[in-house]
Amino acid sequence: MRIDDDARIAVIGTGTIGASWAALFLAAGHDVAASDPAEGAEARLRAQVAANWGDLAALGVAKGPVESALERLTFHADPAEAARGAQAVQENAPERIEVKRDLLARLETTLAPDALILSSTSGLKPTAMQQDMTHPGRLVVGHPFNPPHLIPLVEIVGGERTSDDAILAAVAFYERLGKQPIRLNREITGHVANRLQAALWREAVFLAREGVASVADIDRALTGAVGIRWALMGPHLTFHLGGGAGGMEGFVKNLGPAVESWWADLGDATLDDETARVLVEGVAEETGGRDVEELARQRNAALMRLLALDRRV
Amino acid sequence: MRIDDDARIAVIGTGTIGASWAALFLAAGHDVAASDPAEGAEARLRAQVAANWGDLAALGVAKGPVESALERLTFHADPAEAARGAQAVQENAPERIEVKRDLLARLETTLAPDALILSSTSGLKPTAMQQDMTHPGRLVVGHPFNPPHLIPLVEIVGGERTSDDAILAAVAFYERLGKQPIRLNREITGHVANRLQAALWREAVFLAREGVASVADIDRALTGAVGIRWALMGPHLTFHLGGGAGGMEGFVKNLGPAVESWWADLGDATLDDETARVLVEGVAEETGGRDVEELARQRNAALMRLLALDRRV
């Protein structure tokens, strides 16, 4: 099981995530066969690939003009037709288990038995998805972060019936695309990165709701310090260096009791109406009237600058 | 209450944090009067100021040669002597309440009544610190992140008896130094940033201990995705954009239930011996034999590249 450099990739579901994947696959030289049931999906897909092309060229991934890349993109009303002849499918269907199962059944009617099915699911477990599959061994979660054509991380996890071979092929595929895959040893709700994100946000929401600091100031605690570090090193390596010459062992010994006392003091949160009001008003103050579209443009520009930087430690 | 541009600043406690503060204050043009009871502290302080100067010059903060800056640095065996004539003290004494109280009493014997006392404490509450002070209104926590001369964030919080005037003077002082102060409305264990950091690390330790992914891969979940975002935007603004045109309101409405289900599923952790073993071995694998000193050098170089970048959204 492997995905060749010039393999055809099917992209099923071409919303924001799927279209971003399609742009990346085309940029890396793959033919892409796409499918999505939404009205006007093909036109939107082609427009988004074109819109993403500049960033992919700036990062050195896309070579040549987008026009010739778009000639390698076909669109199919039937997902099974998109899957025909593909060495891999990246599926980005809605996050409902029955939708995913129906889709997988349709794909397997035309897909070669040794072709891989990669799922962008953030919330479903692969064991549940592969339940009715003819060849369940080939189902691998390849969970990206938005936008997939720019953010390096892809979380790889298989279900109970996924083959090691499929996992290794998925890792190799994403690495060749310039991604940074991480491999989960077992499935868990939210995978790794969203769990870490959720854990931090729970405390952020607690602090905002308690009025300890403003929503904007809590955000600045990340952009002014903690987020800067984590763009370079994860929390374990950060604390390894925080332990001085003793490293992580010294850190746990010297600062472990303080950290455990902080853990015991952390808050809880629910997204009730009053909490939602605090968050919505706090963000309105933080953004100072800039709308989401303008913020997204500024975020993308900053993201491009950051991704072009050598962040290796 | 204000700190003039050419004010003398006392730095009490000249370990890593204090020496880094001293370098920043000198770079900004202040005279610095330092004190630390440790053997050889003055020589180490001067060496660290010199070592930090290149970074401060590269960031455009330090002007002129370090030699002339070091002429503006005096060292005093008695902290009360260092405080004499200072408009502000930045104290970095050990994190024990009785040590802090003794020190504050000594400083107040010579300090002008309208001079500010800024504390770098990460773990103590200002109300406890100001209990026996003659002029408690002037005590403000100004909690930095290591290294203070580079990381922008300073957390500002007063105790029950701190004056608003002192808070405002502290904010103005750090802003003029190019820092990004955030203001807490009330004191809380660990302030804001360390609580957020602790919340995320608890889940990271849980995932490592459970064997869901390796220590290195959990770290990569940050450097490959979540940390990249948080270097640009905090979690609230991130989710505001994650809500599409509906912003935070749309996010809470559409994705709130999923987030709450993840919150309910998050793990717990303790730093027991077996957990410490998993973390120490995991970090050893991650660092591939590089020692803490080499890693710190690489981290500092990457940090300088990142700080020079325009990260504004």
Q: What is the ipTM of this complex?
A: 0.96
Task: Give this prediction's pTM.
Answer: 0.95
Per-residue pLDDT of A7-20, as tens digits, reads 999 999 999 999 99
- B75 pLDDT exceeds 90? yes
- A245 pLDDT exceeds 90? no
At residue A2, the pLDDT reads 86
Per-residue pLDDT of B115-167, as tens digits, reads 999 999 998 999 999 999 999 999 999 999 988 999 999 999 999 999 999 99
| Amino acid type, A234 | G
- Suggest the residue from A292, A295, A304, A307 to mutate for an interface test with chain B (most B CBs closer than 10 A): A292
At residue A146, the pLDDT reads 87
At residue A27, the pLDDT reads 97
* Residue from the list B222, B247, B305 with its beta carbon closest to the beta carbon of A196: B222
- Suggest the residue from A143, A223, A309 to mutate for an interface test with chain B (most B CBs closer than 10 A): A223
- A289 pLDDT exceeds 90? no
- Suggest the residue from A121, A237, A294, A299 to mutate for an interface test with chain B (most B CBs closer than 10 A): A237
At residue A22, the pLDDT reads 98
Mean per-residue pLDDT over chain A, rounded: 96
| Amino acid type, A4 | D
Rounded Cα–Cα distance for residues A241 and A249 (Å): 10
For each of the domains in chain A, give its residue range(s) and CATH number, in order of start.
Answer: 8-183 (3.40.50.720), 193-307 (1.10.1040.10)
Tell me which chain A residues have a C-beta less than 8 angstroms from the C-beta of B228. Answer: 151-152, 231, 303, 306-307
Q: In what order do the strands lie in the sheet with B73-75?
A: B73-75, B31-35, B8-12, B88-91, B116-119, B139-144, B153-158, B180-183
At residue A206, the pLDDT reads 98
Mean pLDDT of all residues in A93-121? 97
CB contact under 8 A, A224 and B153: yes
- B282 pLDDT exceeds 90? yes
In which band, very low, low, confident or very high, does the pLDDT at B238 lie, cut at 50, 70 and 90? very high
CB contact under 8 A, A189 and B252: no
CB contact under 8 A, A196 and B190: no
Mean per-residue pLDDT over chain B, rounded: 96
At residue B244, the pLDDT reads 81
3-state helix, strand, coil in chain B (%, to 5): 55, 10, 35
CB contact under 8 A, B153 and A220: yes
Å between A30 CA and nearest CA of chain B = 24
Contact A177, A28 (CB under 8 A): yes
At residue B107, the pLDDT reads 98
At residue B245, the pLDDT reads 85
Per-residue pLDDT of A172-225, as tens digits, reads 999 999 999 999 999 999 999 999 999 999 999 999 999 999 999 999 999 999
At residue A193, the pLDDT reads 97
Which residue in chain B has the smallest CA separation from A296?
Answer: B241
- A275 pLDDT exceeds 90? yes
Which residue in chain A has the smallest CA separation from B256?
Answer: A271
- A47 pLDDT exceeds 90? yes
Contact B139, B129 (CB under 8 A): yes
CB contact under 8 A, A223 and B236: no
